[in-house]
């Protein structure tokens, strides 16, 4: 018999991931679509640009929750395999990147991926957060750092000898982020390699 959890948790992950909080917040606060400025994506950074730091922080927390809730439920349900937990996390990130409720035009998925790390191993979340901060300081470009941070999360955890469910969650989420980057390269993400984030002059 095919376990219902094989479909239920990944579906829940995708639906929760599809909640476009940055779009809703900027429309409520400023009456604009967050995707019409900056990188053209529904991200925390774009929300900060258009609605301010406080609203951006709220969006960040909500986007983290989108990854945390379904992954936590799958991880703490008896009989659910690590594979399904990883797929659930990946589906949450897929939902954020290609949201059902926003014409499949979402964000990068990093905050949602972080929420899934937090759900299975808080230490993994802190390590990946620290790695992201380090990348921002070194690269001095938040968009580039986000892309690298998402794709390199799993190797980073491996180096720290974290090879439990958090590693597989990071691997699944990182693959989605990598695909998101590659698909959009010829349209939007070439802008990531420009110096938009750096002050002029």
Write down the pLDDT at residue 108: 83
Write down the pLDDT at residue 198: 45
**Model confidence pLDDT, tens digit, residues 39-84:** 677 888 888 888 888 998 999 999 999 999 999 999 998 888 999 9
Residues in the chain, pLDDT under 50: 1, 189, 192-193, 195-201
Q: 135 vs 79, 121, 130, 138, 183, CA distance in Å?
A: 37, 21, 9, 5, 23
Write down the pLDDT at residue 143: 67
Is residue 175 exposed (0-12), middle (13-18) or buried (19+ Cβ within 10 Å)?
Answer: middle
Write down the pLDDT at residue 39: 67
Q: Are 59 and 44 in contact (CB under 8 A)?
A: yes
């Amino acid at each position: 018999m095919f376990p219902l959890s094989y479909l239920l948790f990944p579906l829940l992950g995708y639906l929760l991931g599809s909640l476009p909080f940055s779009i809703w917040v900027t429309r409520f606060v400023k009456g604009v679509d967050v995707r019409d400025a900056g990188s053209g994506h529904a991200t925390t950074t774009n929300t900060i640009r258009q609605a301010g730091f406080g609203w951006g922080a709220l969006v960040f927390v909500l986007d983290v929750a989108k990854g945390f809730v379904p992954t936590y439920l799958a991880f703490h349900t008896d009989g659910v395999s690590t594979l399904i937990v990883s797929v659930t996390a990946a589906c949450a990130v897929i939902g954020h990147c290609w949201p059902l409720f926003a014409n499949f035009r979402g964000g990068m998925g990093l905050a949602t991926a972080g929420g899934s790390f937090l759900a299975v191993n808080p230490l993994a979340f802190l390590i990946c957060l620290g790695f992201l901060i380090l990348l921002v300081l070194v690269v001095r470009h938040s968009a580039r750092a986000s892309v690298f941070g998402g794709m390199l999360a799993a190797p980073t955890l491996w180096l720290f000898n974290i090879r439990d469910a958090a590693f597989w969650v990071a691997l699944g989420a990182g693959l989605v982020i990598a695909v998101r980057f590659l698909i959009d390269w010829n349209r939007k993400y070439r802008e990531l390699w420009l110096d938009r984030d750096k002050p002029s002059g």
